[in-house]
Amino acid sequence: MGIPVGKLALYTALGGVRPSACLPITIDVGTNNEQLLQDEFYIGLRQRRATGQEYAGILHEFMTAVKQNYGEKVLVQFEDFANHNAFDLLAKYGTSHLVFNDDIQGTASVVLAGVIAALKLLGGELADHTFLFLGAGEAGTGIAELIALEMSKRAKVPLEETRKKIWLVDSKGLIVSSRKESLQHFKKPWAHEHEPIKDLLGAVKAIKPTILIGSSGVGRTFTKEVIEAMASFSEKPVIMALSNPTSQSECTAEDAYNWSKGRAIFASGSPFDPVEYEGKVFAPGQANNAYIFPGLGLGLVISGAIRVHDQMLLAASEVLAGQVTEENFKKGLIYPPFSNIRKISAQIAANVAAKAYDLGLASHLPRPQDLVKYAEGCMYSPIYRNYR
């Protein structure tokens, strides 16, 4: 229960969503953990995990009941579902309910914001860059898809074309078309023509990416050789080590700056202290989903949106990238300071709401004239009036 309670606390603290409008839920479908099944103090369901039709039935009953009880505009956030279930549930309910998966969409939106901000330091357009991912699960494929969508929107070329600028490496090596038959369905769009490559270093040398993104959950996989290779064909290699916690981060901030001779643009999923390299202090940015989901949630609520659309996620990313100042860039930051999060959330909410109105998905009519002001006015603040 700590997960949904904690997430909703952030919706309120960072996004100003009223606590009375939040309900934390955990769906217990049993466990296959023998130790827990034998533990007399285990408070969960003492039965094997439900799978297949039984699992789908439980989820369907829940989704139907939520909508019956709270109406069309209730926002359901999926969190911590296993890869295959997460994609299937999002595809199944995305067209009939207001649903959002933070592991897939929230992560993607915050990483895309970092990439858009990094373009100011790198120069060129999004489509001029080549991406390589280590990790092809929910986070990796979700980020890749949103980057491809943004690229397609900016360059006005089909999504199939922009996907070719993005390569993924999983536990078996580079995802290539000769592996297509054995791939899970969410990895198939990323299987491009190339000879098989077993390891990350080989993939980096062959693909020559300008942006390297880690979402593998395996620590220290961005080795000295990998970072040096990145720095050999890019003046400012972008290194995003997104896995949490710090022990599972693909590399540390210190490693990234030292091995690239202070040229890397670095961001991570875990917080790292500032790093000094040859007299210059670099402040590593943190690609934290909390930049996006509270504002996104507020925007959906204040517009009375009935569906979540990819265009809303792109709008949220663009707003977040636009909040990074020259001052931040000088320190090597590609995310704004967290101290401004309420203002950032209001801006994101306004832009998400604007997209909902533009796409005909908003039900709170008429459309407010000034959406930023409206978003700020709707935000809950835990400040009590003094009546004496």
Considering the domain boundaries, does residue 213 fall inside one?
Answer: yes
176 and 227 in a common domain: yes
pLDDT tens-digit series, residues 321-344 = 999 999 999 888 999 999 999 999
Q: How many domains does the chain have?
A: 3
Decide: 274 and 321 in contact? Cβ < 8 Å. Answer: no
pTM for the whole structure: 0.95
Decide: 79 and 202 in contact? Cβ < 8 Å. Answer: no
Percent of the chain's residues with pLDDT above 90: 95
Determine the structural domain holding residue 303 and report its residue range.
290-378
Final residue in a domain of this structure, among 36, 69, 104? 104
Residues ≥6 apart with Cβ < 8 Å to 133: 140, 143, 144, 166, 167, 168, 169, 213, 214, 215
Q: Pick from 253, 254, 259, 260: which is nearest to 287 by CA?
A: 253
Q: CATH code at 278?
A: 3.40.50.720
176 and 51 in a common domain: no
User: 322 by DSSP, 3-state: which?
Assistant: helix
361 and 323 in a common domain: yes
Question: Exposed, middle or buried by CB within 10 Å (0-12, 13-18, 19+), for 267?
Answer: buried
- Residues 363-378 as b/e (b if ≥16 CB within 10 A, e otherwise) read ebeeebeebbebbbeb
* pLDDT at 83 (0 to 100): 84
327 and 200 in a common domain: no
57 and 179 in a common domain: no
Q: Which amino acid is at 76?
A: V
Q: Pick from 185, 183, 189, 159: which is nearest to 170 by CA?
A: 183
330 and 268 in a common domain: no
Considering the domain boundaries, does residue 117 fall inside one?
Answer: no
Instruction: Report, as ranges of residue numbers, the positions in the chain whose pLDDT lies below 50.
Output: none
* pLDDT at 335 (0 to 100): 96
178 and 47 in a common domain: no
* pLDDT at 37 (0 to 100): 96
DSSP H helix total and E strand total for the chain: 15, 11
Give the integer Cα–Cα distance in Å for 103 and 114: 17
Summarize the annotated binding site for a divalent metal cation as residue ranges.
Answer: 79-80, 103
- CA distance between the termini of the chain: 39
Q: CATH code at 58?
A: 3.40.50.10380
Summarize the annotated binding site as residue ranges.
Answer: 79-80, 103, 244, 288
Give the integer Cα–Cα distance in Å for 230 and 131: 11
Summarize the annotated binding site for (S)-malate as residue ranges.
Answer: 244, 288
319 and 248 in a common domain: no
280 and 160 in a common domain: yes
User: 310 by DSSP, 3-state: which?
Assistant: helix
Give the integer Cα–Cα distance in Å for 73 and 385: 31
Residue 270 DSSP class: S
Considering the domain boundaries, does residue 116 fall inside one?
Answer: no
Considering the domain boundaries, does residue 172 fall inside one?
Answer: yes
C-alpha to C-alpha distances, 38 to 34, 109, 318, nearest whole angstrom:
6, 41, 50
150 and 205 in a common domain: yes
DSSP string, 177-190: GGGGGGS-GGGGGG
Considering the domain boundaries, does residue 385 fall inside one?
Answer: no
Considering the domain boundaries, does residue 246 fall inside one?
Answer: yes
- CA 240 from chain center: how many Å? 12
User: 197 by DSSP, 3-state: which?
Assistant: coil
Q: Which amino acid is at 192?
A: H
Final residue in a domain of this structure, among 258, 286, 314? 286
Query: At 285, phi and psi to the nearest 5?
Result: -80, 155
Sign of the torsion angle spanned by Cα atoms 293, 140, 25, 310: positive
Considering the domain boundaries, does residue 343 fall inside one?
Answer: yes
282 and 149 in a common domain: yes
Give the integer Cα–Cα distance in Å for 319 and 365: 24
312 and 282 in a common domain: no
* pLDDT at 386 (0 to 100): 84
Final residue in a domain of this structure, among 264, 286, 308? 286
